């Protein structure tokens, strides 16, 4: 049955491809739409009147679509807040018609978002562009930045959570930054299987830079990946947006205060999943449906032509309750968390050559988990400051330097089971109170030279960073280097190498056993990348990468050493652009192998993120200027897990003790899931912009368990499914003006 569903998913997606390919037209119409000041206009509707052909402009103001019409016609271009414009065209079969249009009226250009969809070593190298509309309209992505990122190369679908598993690494090996400040709890609804969604809505994001390896010395304290987010600046126009779906509602407003000088963006989001679960008859025995709220915003003030100060606030709270089947019986899991973030940043340019960015941030997080005898509280407080400089030298030179200081106190307190096999309410327990007060400091220096041998694309970036932390045995020194240049035609290549360090990580239950400081964990990255950039935004990228881990914490009895090690290596490829039939989107594939000997593993074993094969196809087809159909097909090797081979009766407590096999020697079933989305967009009354959509998540209702539980004597395993693992229907709408 599962094989049949797998092939059904492939054939259904392939059917969408070939059906839409039959509409392949004889004439292609493309162009750009800009404002009177030359800014590209996103979301403009471009329609060939008298037909169903058309498109919507992307973040660069570009559009492209095919049409069967070969006689003279008229193209209509419209956008909320701008005067409509009509352009007469004379199509010729097989010829490209190019239109360049300028719309007059108030400037309400939306911010662009650029995602580096694979590893880059310099921020100056352009990434794979993903528009805000693509994030919102990606099928199965829940309009969530993290869920969207998981469709790109370098990230593996270990689970359906929002956690970022980067190239065989654990989520704690990647750093998420917002306006120069590290965010340690960036997702909502945290559980043992990760958080569900990112806490930052895409509407607040101006720029986003993601690297899955070989990132520059500017970034430290991460073994695998970096996600660097910059929030929006002052808005240029009043705007209001409100949306609703089966899982909750949200509202956002942009408010200029002083024209072109200062303004704010504020939002509120309420999550209520009860209606979603009831409509879809989710059989999971919830005691309280996941619910919560998130609010915040940014205030930005431009105090000079080059200077800007920005304040951002983010706060939220969530709760969930569900019955959990365990070998010793049924227990109720209750989890809730609170999160507050406050940041103040400043950016300016001095003497037209020195760019400075500096900021200070305060983060506070609190969480409570209850499951039978388990009753554990966590508090995490951080105060941090960071300053970055960029010096524009002569003859294509740039110098980057800066540093950061962070004070963090992370502590746990409460009761944990005395045995991990007995969570019953009256089971034996032990009280723990591990707490860490950590001071971390680091600095970096990098040099970049472009234009070697008179070739602008031929460049080098080299530098180092040093970090020290009160929980490390010794300070670290990390060299990093990048070589990038053209190959031939539209092909470019880069070679990235570097050493990366991060403080040793231990499970909460083991931290009280650590009686000495451990050296920082280390990883050495080598990444070779080749990129083809064609016309019409078509891009192909292939990367061969390798990571060697060293100084990982290794448990022997109740003591820890730094003798652990491991490796991860693989190949990532992606094609993003247009396909025949007017299909837009991207296809990515990754092959990798990742093994480690660390913590309590019994040898060099597959890591929990060792996903051998991973393929994603995001496809979108404009049926006409108003309707779009899209799909998200995911295929992946099952995640490794440690099997239980049987149970031994323990008469003292009346339970069975599990007998474990080798570490991560078994795998979950092959992961396969197909999500579909139908979207309607339109503007009306020259003021309102409407989006309506229907999503069918996991339309084939395939079984994709996150893990297994067992019956009382460990003779039968029971699949554990995610909150949205069943076939799920979601209806929603949003309106802006």
Q: Quick check: is 11 in a domain? A: no
| Half-sphere CA count of 340, side-chain side, radius 13 A | 7
Q: Quick check: is 639 in a domain? A: yes
Shared domain for 82 and 210, answered yes or no, is no
Identify any residues that bridge with 270 across adjacent strands, giving them in sequence order: 249, 293
Of 147, 151, 213, residue with least CA distance to 724: 147
Whole-angstrom distance, CA of residue 135 vs CA of residue 677: 13
Q: Quick check: is 635 in a domain? A: yes
Shared domain for 65 and 145, answered yes or no, is no
Identify any residues that bridge with 672 across adjacent strands, giving them in sequence order: 635
Shared domain for 459 and 586, answered yes or no, is yes
Q: Which runs of consecutive H residues, i.e. helices, occur in 219-317?
A: 274-279
Shared domain for 606 and 537, answered yes or no, is yes
Give the chain's domain count. 2
The pLDDT value given to residue 114: 38
Question: Does position 70 have pLDDT exceeding 80, yes or no?
Answer: no
The pLDDT value given to residue 154: 79
Q: Tell me the per-residue pLDDT of 428-452, one tens digit each, with 9 for 90 and over.
A: 999 988 888 999 999 999 998 877 7
Q: Which pLDDT band holds residue 58 (cuts at 50, 70, 90)?
A: confident
Whole-angstrom distance, CA of residue 357 vs CA of residue 359: 7
Question: Does position 257 have pLDDT exceeding 90, yes or no?
Answer: yes
Q: Quick check: is 9 in a domain? A: no
Segment 152-161 shows an average pLDDT of 74
**Backbone conformation region of residue 577, classed left if phi is above 0, alpha if psi is from -120 to 50, else beta:** left
Between residues 179 and 408, which one has the greater pLDDT?
A: 408
Shared domain for 93 and 196, answered yes or no, is no
Between residues 171 and 132, which one has the greater pLDDT?
A: 171
Q: Which pLDDT band holds residue 312 (cuts at 50, 70, 90)?
A: very high
Q: Which pLDDT band holds residue 115 (cuts at 50, 70, 90)?
A: very low
Segment 28-42 shows an average pLDDT of 81
- Cα distance from N-terminal residue to C-terminal residue, the chain: 48
Between residues 442 and 734, which one has the greater pLDDT?
A: 442
Q: Tell me the per-residue pLDDT of 649-662, one tens digit each, with 9 for 90 and over.
A: 988 888 999 999 99
Whole-angstrom distance, CA of residue 506 vs CA of residue 581: 52
Q: Is the pTM of this model over 0.85?
A: no
| Half-sphere CA count of 440, side-chain side, radius 13 A | 25
Question: Does position 485 have pLDDT exceeding 80, yes or no?
Answer: yes
Q: Which pLDDT band holds residue 141 (cuts at 50, 70, 90)?
A: low
Shared domain for 340 and 428, answered yes or no, is yes
The DSSP code for 668 is P
Query: Would you say 545 and 529 are in contact if contact means Cβ atoms under 8 Å apart?
Result: no
The pLDDT value given to residue 11: 42
Query: Would you say 263 and 257 are in contact if contact means Cβ atoms under 8 Å apart?
Result: yes
Shared domain for 215 and 363, answered yes or no, is yes
Output the six-digit token pair for 696. 């069918």
597 class by beta-carbon count within 10 Å (0-12 exposed, 13-18 middle, 19+ buried): middle
Segment 127-153 shows an average pLDDT of 65
Query: Would you say 589 and 614 are in contact if contact means Cβ atoms under 8 Å apart?
Result: yes
SS3 letters across 624-660: CCCEEEEEEEEEECCCEECCEEEEEEECCCCEEEEEE
Output the six-digit token pair for 471. 């929980």
User: Which residues span the domain enclosing 671?
Assistant: 132-736
Question: Does position 607 have pLDDT exceeding 80, yes or no?
Answer: yes
Whole-angstrom distance, CA of residue 497 vs CA of residue 545: 10
Output the six-digit token pair for 638. 């099952």
Supply the mean pLDDT for the chain.
83
Output the six-digit token pair for 125. 């190298």
The pLDDT value given to residue 50: 64
Question: Does position 18 have pLDDT exceeding 60, yes or no?
Answer: no
The pLDDT value given to residue 81: 55
**Backbone conformation region of residue 194, classed left if phi is above 0, alpha if psi is from -120 to 50, else beta:** left
394 class by beta-carbon count within 10 Å (0-12 exposed, 13-18 middle, 19+ buried): exposed
What would the DSSP string read from start to end of 550-575? Answer: EEEEEEETTEEEEEEEEEEEEEEEEE
Question: Does position 352 have pLDDT exceeding 80, yes or no?
Answer: no
Q: Quick check: is 1 in a domain? A: no
Give the DSSP H/E element, type plus range, for residue 58: none
Residue 537 neighbours by CB under 8 Å, 6+ apart: 58, 62, 129, 576, 577, 578
Q: Which pLDDT band holds residue 401 (cuts at 50, 70, 90)?
A: very high
In angstroms, the Cα distances linking 170 to 84, 505, 607 are 50, 11, 9
Residue 415 neighbours by CB under 8 Å, 6+ apart: 373, 374, 375, 376, 429, 430, 431, 432
Angle at the Cα of 218 (from 381 to 305), degrees rounded to 5? 90
Q: Which pLDDT band holds residue 209 (cuts at 50, 70, 90)?
A: confident
Segment 321-327 shows an average pLDDT of 87
Whole-angstrom distance, CA of residue 11 vs CA of residue 589: 18
Query: Would you say 630 and 676 are in contact if contact means Cβ atoms under 8 Å apart?
Result: yes
The pLDDT value given to residue 468: 95
The pLDDT value given to residue 267: 92
The pLDDT value given to residue 643: 93
Strands 225-231 and 239-245: unpaired
Q: Quick check: is 327 in a domain? A: yes
Shared domain for 98 and 165, answered yes or no, is no
419-428, 604-613, 619-628, 704-713 — most confident range: 604-613
Query: Would you say 59 and 132 are in contact if contact means Cβ atoms under 8 Å apart?
Result: yes
Q: Which pLDDT band holds residue 571 (cuts at 50, 70, 90)?
A: very high
The pLDDT value given to residue 725: 77
Output the six-digit token pair for 369. 């988990």
Question: Does position 137 have pLDDT exceeding 80, yes or no?
Answer: no
The residue among 63, 85, 103 that closes a domain is 103
Question: Does position 394 have pLDDT exceeding 90, yes or no?
Answer: no
Q: Which pLDDT band holds residue 663 (cuts at 50, 70, 90)?
A: very high
What would the DSSP string read from start to end of 182-213? Answer: EES--EES--TT--SEESS-GGGEEEEEEESS
The pLDDT value given to residue 283: 64
Shared domain for 56 and 150, answered yes or no, is no
Between residues 614 and 146, which one has the greater pLDDT?
A: 614
Shared domain for 96 and 170, answered yes or no, is no
Shared domain for 214 and 280, answered yes or no, is yes
Output the six-digit token pair for 268. 């509120």
Q: Quick check: is 2 in a domain? A: no
Domain CATH code at residue 80: 2.60.40.1120
The fraction of the chain above a pLDDT of 90, given in percent, is 37
Identify any residues that bridge with 599 across adjacent strands, giving them in sequence order: 554
Shared domain for 178 and 30, answered yes or no, is no
Domain CATH code at residue 160: 2.40.170.20
The pLDDT value given to residue 19: 38
Q: Which runs of consecutive H residues, i.e. helices, occur in 32-163?
A: 132-137, 145-149
Question: Does position 302 have pLDDT exceeding 90, yes or no?
Answer: yes
Between residues 76 and 319, which one has the greater pLDDT?
A: 319
The pLDDT value given to residue 34: 87
Whole-angstrom distance, CA of residue 238 vs CA of residue 259: 11
Between residues 115 and 284, which one has the greater pLDDT?
A: 284
The pLDDT value given to residue 180: 84
Furthest-apart CA pair in the chain: how many Å? 88
Return the minimum-mean-pLDDT range out of 134-143, 171-180, 318-327, 452-461: 134-143
Residue 274 neighbours by CB under 8 Å, 6+ apart: 289, 291
Output the six-digit token pair for 323. 């019955």
Q: CB under 8 Å, gap of 24 or more: what pairs does 252-256 form?
A: 252/201, 252/203
The residue among 82, 103, 124 that closes a domain is 103
Angle at the Cα of 208 (from 462 to 200), degrees rounded to 5? 135
The DSSP code for 165 is -
Neighbours of 418 (CB within 10 A): 11
The pLDDT value given to residue 443: 97
Question: Does position 467 have pLDDT exceeding 50, yes or no?
Answer: yes
The pLDDT value given to residue 116: 37
The pLDDT value given to residue 348: 92
What would the DSSP string read from start to end of 332-352? Answer: EEEEEEEEEEEEEEEEEEETT
Q: Tell me the per-residue pLDDT of 538-567, one tens digit each, with 9 for 90 and over.
A: 788 899 999 999 999 998 888 899 999 999
The pLDDT value given to residue 195: 67
The pLDDT value given to residue 579: 81
Neighbours of 536 (CB within 10 A): 11
Output the six-digit token pair for 34. 């800009």
Whole-angstrom distance, CA of residue 389 vs CA of residue 386: 10
Segment 291-301 shows an average pLDDT of 92
The pLDDT value given to residue 44: 76
**Backbone conformation region of residue 167, classed left if phi is above 0, alpha if psi is from -120 to 50, else beta:** left
Whole-angstrom distance, CA of residue 199 vs CA of residue 314: 8
Q: Quick check: is 345 in a domain? A: yes
Give the DSSP H/E element, type plus range, for residue 13: helix 2-21
């Amino acid at each position: 049955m599962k094989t049949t569903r797998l092939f059904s998913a492939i054939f259904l997606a392939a059917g969408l491809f070939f059906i839409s390919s039959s509409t392949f037209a004889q004439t292609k119409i493309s162009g750009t739409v800009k404002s009177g000041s030359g800014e590209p206009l996103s979301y403009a509707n471009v329609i060939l009147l008298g037909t169903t052909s058309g498109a919507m402009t992307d973040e660069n103001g570009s559009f492209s679509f095919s049409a069967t019409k070969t006689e003279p016609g008229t193209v209509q271009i419209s956008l909320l807040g701008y005067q409509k414009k009509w352009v007469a065209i004379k199509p010729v079969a097989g010829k490209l018609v190019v239109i360049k249009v300028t719309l007059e009226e108030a400037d309400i250009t939306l911010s662009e978002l650029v995602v580096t969809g694979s590893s880059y070593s310099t921020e100056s190298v352009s990434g794979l562009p993903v528009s805000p509309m693509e994030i919102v309209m990606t099928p199965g992505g829940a309009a969530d930045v993290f869920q969207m990122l998981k469709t790109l190369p370098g990230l593996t679908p270990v689970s359906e959570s929002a956690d970022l598993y980067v190239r065989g690494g654990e989520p704690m090996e990647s750093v998420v930054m917002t306006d120069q400040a590290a965010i340690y709890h960036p997702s909502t609804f945290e559980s043992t299987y990760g958080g569900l969604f990112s806490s930052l809505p895409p509407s607040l994001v101006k720029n986003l830079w993601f690297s899955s390896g070989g990132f520059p010395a500017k970034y430290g304290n991460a073994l695998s990946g970096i996600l660097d987010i910059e929030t929006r600046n002052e808005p240029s126009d009043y705007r209001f947006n409100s949306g609703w779906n089966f899982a909750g509602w949200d509202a956002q407003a942009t408010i200029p205060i002083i024209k072109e000088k200062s303004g704010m963006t504020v939002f509120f989001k309420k999550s209520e999943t009860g209606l979603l679960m009831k409509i879809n008859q989710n059989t999971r025995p919830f005691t309280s449906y996941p619910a919560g709220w998130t609010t915040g915003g940014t205030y930005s003030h431009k105090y000079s032509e080059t200077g800007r100060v920005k304040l951002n606030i983010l706060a939220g709270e969530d709760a969930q309750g569900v019955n959990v089947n365990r070998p010793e019986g049924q227990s109720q899991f209750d989890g809730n968390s609170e999160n507050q973030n406050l940041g103040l940043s400043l950016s300016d340019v001095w003497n037209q050559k020195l760019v400075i960015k500096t900021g200070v941030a305060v983060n506070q997080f609190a969480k409570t988990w209850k499951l039978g005898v388990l009753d554990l509280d966590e508090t995490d407080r951080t105060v941090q400051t960071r300053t970055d400089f960029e010096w524009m030298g002569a003859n294509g030179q740039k110098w980057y330097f800066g540093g950061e200081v962070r004070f963090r106190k992370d502590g746990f307190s409460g009761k944990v089971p005395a045995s991990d096999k007995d969570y019953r309410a009256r089971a034996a327990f032990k009280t723990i109170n591990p707490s860490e007060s950590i001071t971390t400091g680091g600095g970096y220096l990098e040099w970049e030279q472009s234009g070697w041998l008179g070739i602008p694309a031929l460049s080098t970036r080299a530098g180092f960073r040093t970090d020290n932390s009160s929980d490390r045995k010794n300070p670290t020194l990390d060299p990093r280097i990048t070589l990038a240049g053209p190959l031939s035609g539209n092909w470019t290549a880069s070679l990235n190498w570097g050493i990366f360090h991060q403080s040793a990580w231990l499970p909460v239950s083991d931290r009280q056993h650590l009686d000495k400081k451990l050296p920082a964990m280390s990883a050495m990255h080598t990444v070779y990348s080749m990129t083809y950039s064609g016309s019409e935004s078509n891009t192909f990228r292939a990367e061969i990468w390798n990571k060697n881990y060293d100084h990982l914490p290794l448990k022997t009895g109740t003591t820890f050493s730094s003798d652990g090690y491991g490796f991860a290596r693989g190949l990532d490829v992606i094609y993003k652009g247009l396909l025949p039939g007017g299909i837009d989107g991207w296809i990515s594939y990754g092959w990798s192998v990742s093994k480690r000997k660390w913590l309590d593993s019994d040898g060099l074993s597959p890591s929990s993120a060792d996903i051998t094969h991973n393929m994603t196809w995001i496809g979108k087809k404009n049926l006409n200027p108003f309707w779009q159909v899209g799909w998200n097909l995911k295929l992946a090797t099952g995640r490794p897990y440690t099997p239980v081979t049987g149970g031994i009766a323990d008469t003292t407590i009346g339970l069975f003790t599990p007998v474990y096999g080798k570490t991560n020697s078994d795998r979950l079933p092959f992961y396969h899931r197909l999500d579909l989305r139908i979207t309607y967009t339109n503007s009306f009354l020259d003021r309102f912009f409407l989006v309506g959509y229907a999503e069918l998540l996991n339309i084939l209702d395939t079984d994709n368990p996150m893990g297994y539980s067992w019956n009382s004597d460990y003779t039968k395993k029971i699949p554990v499914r995610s909150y949205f693992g069943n076939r799920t229907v979601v209806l929603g709408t949003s309106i802006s003006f």
